[in-house]
Structure 1
Amino acid sequence: MTVTTETIDQIRDMKQLREAVDQLDAELIDLFRLRFACMDAAARIKQDRGASGMKVARQRFWRT
C-alpha cells in the first residue's frame, strides 16, 4: 500500500495504522541514506577540486 492522506483517512484499525507508519519510517530511512550519500559525494568532489566547506549563503540558510 502506498501511504497517502487518502489511504490514511481510510484506515480503521491500529494494525493498519502501525503498518503505514512502519512503511513511512522505512521510506524516510532510505531517503536519509540517499541524502547522506549525496553529502559524501559533495565532500569527495570538494576535496578533489580543493574547495573548502559550506558556502556562506548555505551557512546562513541553516542557521535560521
Structure 2
Amino acid sequence: MAGKLGNTRAVCKKYYIHPQLLDSYENGTLTPWLQKIRLKREQPAYGGLHADEKCCWRF
C-alpha cells in the first residue's frame, strides 16, 4: 500500500508503525505477542475483530 501511495520506508516507519512495536522487535520482547497471534490466527472474528487483531490491539 505504501508503494502505491509513493511513501518511502522512512515515512512508513514514522507514521504507519507504532514506535513501541519497533522497539519491542529490536529488544526481543515482541516474540510472546507473535506466538499468541500464531496460535489464535485461525479463530473466527467475534465483536468485529479477529483474534490476531485483538492481540495486536492489546499490545
Task: Report the structure, 1 or 2, having the larger helix content.
Answer: 1
Q: Which has the larger radius of gyration?
A: 1
What TM-score, normalized by structure 1, do the two folds share? 0.28
